[in-house]
Structures are given as structure tokens and as C-alpha cells.
Structure 1
Amino acid sequence: MSVPDIHELVPHSGAMSLLGRLLDADDESLHAEVAITPESMFYSEGAVGAWVGVEYMAQAVAAHAGWCARQKGEPVRVGFLLGSRKYACKVAAFAAGSVLKIEVRRALQGENGLGAFDCRIEDGSGAELATATITVFQPHNVEEFLQRSAK
């Protein structure tokens, strides 16, 4: 099976689609990659702030949801980042020229769309740079959920 373009799996577009490529995925995990360049969103003074690591992780979780949907013949759906727990980063910023590997692994997934993923970011040598647990919500019908939420 060929590896799909990661941009087809994440419901972000344009400059807000932060990940570079999908490395591999299965039912429980996904590995993605992002190269830090001057063209990277949030790039400033030779780096991307480490706080962006949470969004790299969240988009990798979204890519996993998209990959799983594709395996079932379903469309990619919108989801929501609810929060992060215990985000710990060993660097203040991700330097230009770095190639980061993002790994997300499902810790739990409820039938109601709530999920939690254990996440990590590594540098090119495999050294751990950041970890967190990311919590997400993917409603079965996003339009219906948003309409109910607006009331």
C-alpha cells in the first residue's frame, strides 16, 4: 500500500497545514515528519518556538484520524483539540535545518469521539525533544455538533 500525502489526511490547508509528510501509520499510531525552514509557519529568528510542538502533535493526531477514516472508505472529518497534558520540551525552539519526527499513539478512544494520544517529537538522531498527551474530540457529525453548541 502506498503512503498517502499527509495533506490529504488533515483538514487544514495552506500555511496552517504544518506537517511535511507521513512516514507510516497503522490502526493505533502514526509517524510524521516536519522540516524546519525559513518558510515554516511560526518561523522567527532562525527557529520555530517549542510551543508549536503541541500543534505538530495535534496535526499528527488529525492525520491519524484521517488515515483511519481512509482505511474504512470514509471521508476525512474535522476534529477538535481539547488540550494537552504534561507538555514537556527539552529545547526552547526547533532550529532551522532540523527534521522532526512526530509520533502519536492512541491511548484511548471512546465511541463518543473523545480520544487521548501519547505523543513525542524526536530529532533526526532519535533523541526525544518533546512529549505530551493530547486530548481530542471528533464528533460523528461536525455540523450538527456546531449547531447544537451555538444554542
Structure 2
Amino acid sequence: MTVHPEPSPALPCAIAPFVPQTQGMCLLDRIVAVGDNDLSAEITPSTEDVFARDDGIPGWVALEWLAQAVAAWAGWHGAQRGEPPAPGFLIGTRRFTTTRDRFAFGETLRVTVSLEFRADNGLGHFHGELHGGDGIRLAHGSLTVFQPDSNDDALDDNR
């Protein structure tokens, strides 16, 4: 039996039901706000994270946090139509910058993504930012993503 996320749970809510990542690869903790064209999520890095090192989470992981926020945005809107989270692909990024080599354990960080455009063929472009608890921007970049149509055979294993 497949369990689909509630269409509109109260916020903040767990992010896991809205992303296709499972078994430790769901890196974000919760959705705190969502709109037609944007989403905000939070993460509090811990020593249990899959990318944890002795001295924190590497700075480049912020790019994956941004990408998973995009996946959560798509998953949230899919849930409104009764659909489970669908796989998508990070095609590329431009101007990704982070001000930190490492993110400390226990510091709550806010990830925000905003849709800039979405084409009918599943291609989309988002701007993403990561902020510390003090509101200072720690990372940002533009992400180009692709989510195949669920009726598309792009992910069919039987080809």
C-alpha cells in the first residue's frame, strides 16, 4: 500500500512525505512555508547526517539542500493533486556560492527556493538561498531542474 502525503498539512510539517529521497538521503527536516511559487524549509544539521564530518557538514552540501527544497516544492504541489512525490533531476546550477566551508551541527538553517519559470516539458528554473539563524545569507544559486511527466517513459526500466 502506498501512502500519499496529506494535501495540506498544518505548517511547519515534516518534509519527508513530500520528497522522493529516502533512507537517510532526505536531508531537510521540515517545511515552514509554501506558496504557489516558493517554499521555505529548515534543517538542523546533526552528527547523524549522511554527509557529517567531524567538524560539521561540508559547505557544498548546501547545493543539495537547495535542490531538495525544490523537490519538496514539487512534491507539495503534487500532493494537492493526490500524487506521490516524483523523481526529478538537477540539470545544472549557476552562480552557486557559499560563505562557509562547513556548517556547524545544531544550528538551524533556513532554505528558500523561488520558481523563476517552469516550461510545459518539465524544465524549471529556481533561485535558492540558505540563511543562518541570524538571517544572514550563507549560500545562494540558481538551479535548473527537470521533472519528467509521470506518463513519460523517461524513467521506464523496461526499455
TM-score tier (shorter)? over 0.9
1:42 is aligned to 2:51:
yes
1:124 is aligned to 2:133:
yes
Instruction: Give the whole-Å Cα distance in 2 for the aligned partners of 1:15 and 1:72.
Output: 27
- Corresponding position of 1:62: 71
Instruction: Give the whole-Å Cα distance in 2 for the aligned partners of 1:5 and 1:35.
Output: 13
- Corresponding position of 2:116: 107
Instruction: Give the whole-Å Cα distance in 2 for the aligned partners of 1:30 and 1:69.
Output: 14
- Corresponding position of 1:81: 90
- Corresponding position of 2:105: 96
Gaps of 5+ in 1: none
Instruction: Report SS of the residue matched to 2:114.
Output: strand
Q: Which has the higher helix share?
A: 1
Instruction: Report SS of the residue matched to 1:112.
Output: coil
Cα offset, 1:72, TM superposition = 2.3
Residue 61 of structure 2, aligned match among 52, 59, 68: 52
Cα offset, 1:45, TM superposition = 1.9
Q: Aligned Cα RMSD in Å?
A: 1.8
Instruction: Report SS of the residue matched to 1:146.
Output: coil
Contact 1:78 1:142 in 2 (8 A): no
2:75 partner letter: G
Contact 1:56 1:102 in 2 (8 A): yes
Q: Give the TM-score taking structure 1 as reference length.
A: 0.92
Q: Which has the higher strand share?
A: 1
1:140 is aligned to 2:149:
yes
1:22 is aligned to 2:39:
no
CA deviations 1:62-120 (Å, max 9, x no partner) are 00000111122223211111111110111111112211100000011001000010000
Cα offset, 1:142, TM superposition = 6.9
Q: Which runs of 4+ in 1 moved over 3 A?
A: none
1:94 partner letter: F
Instruction: Give the whole-Å Cα distance in 2 for the aligned partners of 1:14 and 1:143.
Output: 26
Gaps of 5+ in 2: 1-7
Q: Give the TM-score taking structure 2 as reference length.
A: 0.88
- Corresponding position of 1:33: 42
Instruction: Give the whole-Å Cα distance in 1 for the aligned partners of 2:67 and 2:127.
Output: 11
